[in-house]
Amino acid sequence: MPSHRVPSEADVISTVEFNHTGELLATGDKGGRVVVFQREPESKNAPHSQGEYDVYSTFQSHEPEFDYLKSLEIEEKINKIKWLPQQNAAHSLLSTNDKTIKLWKITERDKRPEGYNLKDEEGKLKDLSTVTSLQVPVLKPMDLMVEVSPRRVFANGHTYHINSISVNSDCETYMSADDLRINLWHLAITDRSFNIVDIKPANMEDLTEVITASEFHPHHCNLFVYSSSKGSLRLCDMRAAALCDKHSKLFEEPEDPSNRSFFSEIISSVSDVKFSHSGRYMLTRDYLTVKVWDLNMEARPIETYQVHDYLRSKLCSLYENDCIFDKFECAWNGSDSVIMTGAYNNFFRMFDRNTKRDVTLEASRESSKPRAVLKPRRVCVGGKRRRDDISVDSLDFTRKILHTAWHPAENIIAIAATNNLYIFQDKVNSEMH
């Protein structure tokens, strides 16, 4: 679904999220807009058409603001979108920029009332003296309208920039995390939240790490995890104490002294953490690797996958152009057997946990044509080059895939590449099942 105009900064996609059924897909961008795509139902005439996602609704979620106390501009960029489990015919989602979280309701209308007694067709009040008989208004069909309305605004909860939001499995509460604090909100209450983690030191000069991401456990409403810039994960239990500064479990891999370098701490910072659908494992992404952790084993990850190890020798130039601070996300497939994450040059990586096979694929105009098959790509580091291999020196670091999402049940993936959204699906059983 690539667009063909010159991208403006406002069009750059900043988050991608499927809803719980996978029928809807939402993207947020740097211009504060949310675009919701809906999956087309399969038609008898074209059995292969199912899976096409078309624009369902577009709305402006956030506007740029100004914090007069701190003389700071607050960007409209959407940092995260989270869908709420569907309770009725309407859909609801949370969207957040750096400071303010909003709850949006998306409804459909395909009928309109006609035949009012006191109003004419244009909605103006009639002269009551002309009303001589009463009629029962009727609902007449009309063209489908998708209406989006702001239901609640959760403001003033964060001093620092919000990096993640997560809806609890109790469907009543959610949490929001910034660099130093995590707050717990009730979805119905906007004027107060409870601070559940606070790592801000008394003296900011003693600050050694920040919170980078957080997520609720998919099944246990009392458990949540947050990751840090030092590469550690802390699992917290809200039953233990109101303030979860003392974690229940600390997941941290001891550093290999032989790999120690100036960049060690930067590249070990966790940019994303995701619980598996089963709730047994956690997936984390740092600059060079993705790791799978077992909730029952804190000492080290049970699996580590190299995303782009060929960049290890390029860290100096990546530091100079700030790419080393890029925050890549990671995703599980519906059965927790395959994991996906993005890389540079519009490449994205998939790792099959069972077969231990991995593949590099590219999101490009060519690969987005109907029925096009994604060809595996290879990056070579010096030495012999096979045809179609790409040299590590010719990788384009401005084309990066930071945001990805996997359909909760099917092999359909959404890839955000700058201002383009690519949706790929596995028609049969492809190499990465």
Spans of all domains in the chain: 12-113
Please name the residues in contact with 22: beta carbons below 8 A apart, sequence gap of 6 or more. Answer: 39, 407, 408, 409, 410, 412
156: left (phi over 0), alpha (psi -120 to 50) or beta: left
- Tell me, what DSSP letter sits at residue 419? T
Q: Can you give the pLDDT at residue 4?
A: 46
Q: What is the pLDDT along the chain (433 residues), one digit of tens a residue?
A: 554 455 688 999 999 999 999 999 999 999 999 999 999 887 655 555 556 899 999 999 999 998 887 788 999 999 999 999 998 999 999 999 999 999 999 998 888 888 788 887 777 888 888 878 888 888 888 788 889 999 999 999 999 999 999 999 999 999 999 999 999 999 999 999 999 999 999 999 999 999 999 999 999 999 999 999 999 999 999 999 888 888 899 999 888 777 778 899 999 999 999 999 999 999 999 999 999 999 999 999 999 999 999 999 999 999 999 999 999 999 999 999 999 999 999 999 999 999 999 999 999 877 667 666 788 888 877 666 676 788 888 899 999 999 999 999 999 999 999 999 999 987 544 333 3
Q: How far apart are CA 37 and CA 54, in angstroms?
A: 5
Distance CA 28, CA 58 (A): 10
pLDDT for 111? 80
What is the helix (H) or strand (E) element at residue 42, kind and residue range? none
pTM over 0.85: yes
Which residue is associated with the tokens 């890839």? 415
Which backbone phi and psi does 288 adopt, to 5 degrees? Answer: -110, -15
pLDDT (0 to 100) of residue 44: 56
Q: How many angstroms separate the CA atoms of 235 and 215, rounded?
A: 10
Cα–Cα distance, 363 to 420 (Å, whole number): 9
Instruction: Name the burial class of residue 277, with classes exposed (0-12), middle (13-18) and buried (19+) by CB atoms within 10 angstroms of its CB.
Output: middle
DSSP character at residue 5? S
Considering only CA atoms, which of 186, 165, 171, 180 is closest in space to residue 15? Answer: 165
Residue 368: the pLDDT is 67
pLDDT value of position 429? 42
Contacts of 89 (CB under 8 A, 6+ apart): 107, 108
In the block, residue with structure tokens 């949706």: 423
CA distance 331 to 184: 24
Amino acid present at 410: E
**d(C-alpha 347, C-alpha 310), whole Å:** 14
pLDDT at position 106: 96
Map tokens 């790929």 to a residue: 424
One-character DSSP codes across 251-312: E-PPP-GGG--TTHHHHHS--EEEE-TTSSEEEEE-SSEEEEEETT--SS-SEEEES-GGGG
Task: Supply φ then ψ for residue 108, to 5 degrees.
Answer: -110, 145
Amino acid letter for position 261: S
- Cα dist. 378→139, 161, 411, 412 in Å? 60, 37, 23, 23
Closest by alpha carbon to 224, among 208, 209, 240?
240
213 vs 225: CA distance, rounded Å: 8
Q: Is the alpha carbon torsion for 76, 82, 88, 89 positive or negative? A: positive
Q: Residue with structure tokens 């991995």?
A: 358
* Residues 296-339 pLDDT 10s: 999 999 999 999 999 999 999 999 999 999 999 999 999 999 99
Give me 252's structure tokens.
């941290």
pLDDT number for residue 421: 94
**Identity (one letter) of the amino acid at 429?**
N
Rounded to whole angstroms, the Cα distance separating 252 from 404 reads 25
pLDDT of residue 262: 86
